[in-house]
Amino acid sequence: MRDWLDARTGYRALIKHLLDEPLPSGVGWWFVTGSIVLFLLSVQLLTGILLAIFYSPSPDYAYDSVRFIMERVTFGRVLRGLHFFGASFIVIAAIVHMLRVVAFGSYKKPRELNWIVGVLLLLIILGFALTGYLLPWDQKAYWATTVTLNIARSVPLVGDALSGVLKGGTELGALTLMRWYAAHVFLLPACLIAFTVAHLYLMRRQGISGPVKAVPGPPTPFYPYHAIRDTIAVAVVFALLLTFAIAFNAPLDAVADPTDATYVPRPEWYFMSLFELLRHFPGPFEPVATVIIPGIVIALLFLLPFLDRRPDRAPASRPLVIATFMFVFTGIAFLTVLGFRSTPAPSSATQAAARLGATPGRRGPVMVEDVFKNVQALKGITVDEFMGTMGIMSASLGLCCNDCHPGAGTDEVVWEADTEPRKVTARSMVLMMQAINRDNFSGRQVVTCWTCHRLRLTPVDTPRLDQFYGEAINELDAVISKAAGVPTPMQVLDKYLQAIGGSEKAAGLTSIAATGKVVAFGSFGGGGKFEYFAQAPDKRAMLSHLPDGESSRTFDGRAGWFAIPLAVVPKYPLTGGELDGARLDAQLSFPAEIAHSLTGLRVGPVTEIDGKEVYLLQGNGARGSFASLYFDRQSGLLARIIRYTPSKIGKVPTQVDYADYRDVDGIKFPYRWIVTWLDGRDEFDFGDVKLNVPIDATKFGEPTLPPR
Amino acid sequence: MPIETPTGDATRRRFLSSITSGILSVIGGILGVLGGGAVLSSTVRRQEDWLAASSLHDLPVNEPTAVTLSMMRVDGYREALQRRTIFLVKTGESEVAAFDATCTHLGCLVAWDAQGQVFKCPCHGGIYDRTGAVKEGPPPEGLIKVSTRVDGDKVLVQA
């Protein structure tokens, strides 16, 4: 069979030709670097193909598919690790190979063209690293690519066009992901293979340069005398790479969130120097960092064999070349170190999430899959958002937890069990609702559980004539528009500040410390005492000491926590919308802060609360959250705040009703609060209220719970 | 220029060749196991839930009734709404049998022929009796039975 094949292809002669390459005497271990790069490129190609089998290049599924690879595919975690860490290994190996070529003067005549091909290969490798970034569609992917696109935009003359080509659409989205994916898996591999073949062909055609000073002796065949060195070096590198892939998870942040203004992009180490360089050339000087300096370095690399044309290869006789390379690489190393020092560490909320047991090796908030089993339709969201979605379902259908989770509220509950068909139906409904919004409303949440259910298990499908011909129902939607014939937002706020004691008094309010009695969960949670602390501009803590344990909501200006007794998750850090909501709660504790806390203020039509006319003032918070503030039309006092935070299946409202205003040090303070949210209702009656007193900062931090 | 084959030689060459081949085989083997494991991994495990299919009193006695079930199924990294048609046959006061409507020949959906009192496959003429057993045609086996249970008036099927 082999003879038959050889007679037709001549493969034996080809193999002999490839393996019996004569190598000059003295070729040693320095000459294994090229083989290491070649091997690592092969590993990248193989693992890339395997990852592509499972990866889905669309914003809807990219992140889920990467998580699927990490968590469900056999050896998926290791394969992604090999691919991820392999990228760093290749960059290192390619640079070491290049330095070896420079040190040995191997770029000199007649190998100039092969040097140029090698530089092109290095740029292609960096292109792989850049385009591979976006594919997991996590926070790092999104924000690092945003930075890249903006860097591209700073290129003089063609910046906008270049950024447009890279982006593909008006926003960083599906079209961007598709074209970066296409570049990563089709265009760049094709270029890589073509230039690698050219590099090897030219290497064979010109022969290996060999030692700087010729070593006397006849040449030896490549195989097996040098191949054994290559193989051992490759084995060592592979063992190291495999160890990394097994010991460490390739990082995966939370899913990309284009509205997260708090995320600080931190590039991979091999782009850190460029990232850092950008810091030192702000504004109109940006092109110096993005185009001119990198352009000069790349141009010097390409031109090296033509600038240094003397045949002498010894490093000592080429001090300018060696010094230039040392200067450039020292500069890159210095900028890299500087970059790592100046990029802030993850936020305290992230660290809190890590303490609470998020997946090891993955930064980011506590995801629902990390805590609950058998989550299907609502994967990829944080625990606090998930709890909000559960509240939306129960409030929309008028159900309790145990209607879908038999035994909820007792020790007998098995949250993950699917014994109740209603739970299975709920999943289909979530999917249906998302499909309706996606297919008909461009993904806006126009249809939610509440749209149809309205506290009923089965939606009403027939118009009721008595209602149609009866009294009109004027139900305001959550989002309002500016109404005509009402005061301006500033007039409403001024009246409020006057009503509580004047704007000067309000501006002087810097802290509140109070205690009182609480009845929790509409008396289901029992009665107890509470402590309330607020520190301007944005710290707040509500700590309730209940018969079943501690219930607390805290926000320290950056991170927030929620703890509740007898819950499936007793304590979790707030993220996303709930974190924004906690910040808003804290800011709105100080009347003078209201105007600064909300944007897009508008006053809606006059409405009523308990028969009293109120002005409805609405404003926007961060990331899709917003708040409605109801001010008594007559007294000007604040009667109610409802703040809304976004979730995967609708807006999550939290309402606070204020009453019983009393004078404290010249400021009117509401002594009765009723806090209502989707899962409960707490009534707070304040007893002792102190203003402008020092408060221990630890009160606003992560609450400490007694052991369960 | 003549290529030197270092002295020693055939033995040394064979020794070095076998070490090279051995190391490369181990690396290839590791990558093969990792890649093979990923490609062959059985990542989709069939889920079965008890789903409400009908109310008992809506079912006529001994008359197969087609019901389309909608269920969430894990499809790799996403969940998809899947539909499955089954036939429910009320066989007693509170006993219900269920069959999957998929023909066991090539997967077409069978229909109940009330006149002939048989299930008929429109594709290749497979015919099953009321109990799902093959009467005629190419199907290799009867219609697949689906587990049922009755909870009050609710007929639940395991699908």
Q: DSSP letters of B44-61?
A: -PPP--EEEEEEGGGSPB
Task: State residue A527's pLDDT score.
Answer: 82
Residue A262: predicted pLDDT: 58
Q: B66: distance to nearest CA of chain A, Å?
A: 19
Structurally, how many domains does chain A consist of? 3
A242 in the same domain as A109: yes
The answer, yes or no, to whether residue A360 has pLDDT greater than 50, is: no
A338 half-sphere exposure, CB direction, 13 A CA radius: 14
A242 interface with B at CB cutoff 8 Å: yes
Average pLDDT, stretch A450-460?
88
Question: For residue A90, is it within any domain?
Answer: yes
CATH number at residue A393: 1.10.468.10
Which residues have CB under 8 Å from A577's CB, separation 6+? Answer: A384, A385, A388, A623, A624, A625, A645, A646, A647, A652
**Does A64 fall in a domain?**
yes
User: For A141-148, what is the mean pLDDT?
Assistant: 86
Same domain for A555 and A687?
yes
* Test the B interface: residue of A35, A71, A75 with most B CBs within 10 Å: A75
Do residues A415 and A514 share a domain?
no
Q: Give chain B positions within 8 Å (CB) of A72.
A: 41, 43, 77
Asked if the C-beta of A216 comes within 8 angstroms of chain B's C-beta atoms, the answer is: no
Chain B residue with minimum CA distance to A230:
B20
Q: Domain check: are A245 and A331 in the same one?
A: yes
pLDDT tens digits for range A594-637: 888 888 888 988 888 988 999 999 988 777 788 999 999 999 99
Q: Cβ of A424 and B72 within 8 Å?
A: yes
Containing structural domain, residue A442: 367-461
| Contact residues, chain A, for B27 at CB < 8 Å | 234-235, 238
Does one domain contain both A419 and A496?
Answer: no
pLDDT at B148 exceeding the cut of 60? yes
Structure token digits, residue B45:
């495990």
Domain end position, chosen among A313, A345, A377: A345
CATH number, domain with residue A578: 2.50.20.10
| Contact in structure between A278 and A289 (CB atoms under 8 Å) | yes
Model ipTM value: 0.71
Same domain, A172 and A244: yes
Within 8 A of A235 by CB-CB distance, chain B residues are: 23, 26-27
Q: Residue A574 — pLDDT band, cuts 50, 70, 90?
A: confident
- Which residue type, as a one-letter code, is found at position A23? L
Distance from CA of B94 to the nearest CA of A (A): 20
Collect all residues of chain A within an 8 Å Cβ-Cβ radius of residue B41. Answer: 72-76
Q: What pLDDT shows up at residue A524?
A: 64
**A73 CB within 8 Å of a chain B CB:** yes
- Contact with chain A for residue B32, Cβ under 8 A: no
State pTM to two decimals: 0.60
Instruction: With beta carbons less than 8 A apart as the criterion, state whether B125 and B108 touch.
Output: no
Nearest to A509 by CA among A583, A594, A581: A594
Q: Is B144 on the interface with A (CB under 8 A)?
A: no
Minimum distance, in Å, between the CA of residue B67 and any CA atom of chain A: 16
pLDDT, tens only, A182-212: 999 999 999 999 999 999 999 999 988 888 8
pLDDT tens digit sequence for B2-12: 555 555 678 88
Integer angstrom CA distances of residue A117 from A23, A98, A127, A242, A455:
21, 12, 15, 29, 69
Task: Report how far residue A380's alpha carbon sits from residue A252's, in angstroms, rounded to the nearest whole number.
Answer: 12
Predicted local confidence at residue A583, as pLDDT: 86
The answer on pLDDT for A331 being more than 90 is yes
The reply to whether B71 touches chain A by the CB within 8 Å rule is: yes
CATH code of the domain occupying B50-158: 2.102.10.10
Q: Are residues A237 and A168 in the same domain?
A: yes
| The pLDDT of residue A277 is above 80 | yes
Residue A318's CATH number: 1.20.810.10
Do A399 and A447 reside in the same domain of the chain?
Answer: yes
| A16 falls within a domain | no
Question: Is the confidence at residue A473, as pLDDT, over 70?
Answer: no
CB B56 within 8 A of CB A94: no
Q: For A23-75, how does the pLDDT look when each residue is reduced to its tens digit (9 = 90+)?
A: 888 888 999 999 999 999 999 999 999 999 999 999 888 998 998 899 889 99
Q: Which of A:411-450 have CB within 8 Å of B? A: 418-419, 421, 424-425, 427-428, 431-432
pLDDT of residue A301: 94
pLDDT band at A706 (very low <50, low <70, confident <90, very high): low
pLDDT of res. A350: 38
Let me know whether A548 and A637 are in one domain: yes
- At residue A169, the pLDDT reads 83
Chain B interface, best mutation among A56, A71, A431, A457, by max B CB count within 10 A: A431
Look at residue A571 and tell me whether its pLDDT is greater than 80: no
By Cβ distance, the residue of A43, A75, A427 closest to B72 is: A427
Residues A393 and A456 in one domain: yes
Q: Do A431 and B81 touch (CB under 8 A)?
A: yes
Contact check, Cβ <8 Å, B34/A79? yes
| Average pLDDT of span B49-72 | 86
Say yes or no for a CB contact (<8 Å) between A427 and B79: yes
Is 60 exceeded by the pLDDT of residue A376?
Answer: yes
Judged by CB atoms closer than 8 Å, whether chains meet at B19 and A234 is answered as no
Question: What pLDDT, on a 0 to 100 scale, did the predictor assign at position A411?
Answer: 67
Residues A214 and A173 in one domain: yes
More confident residue, A474 or A358: A474
CB contact under 8 Å between A376 and B79, yes or no, is: yes
The answer as to whether A658 is a domain residue is yes
Q: Examine the pLDDT at A437 and tell me if it is beyond 90.
A: no
Determine contact: A50 vs chain B, CB below 8 A: yes
Contact B72 A46 (CB under 8 A): no
CA distance A377 to B78: 8
* A221 shares a domain with A90: yes
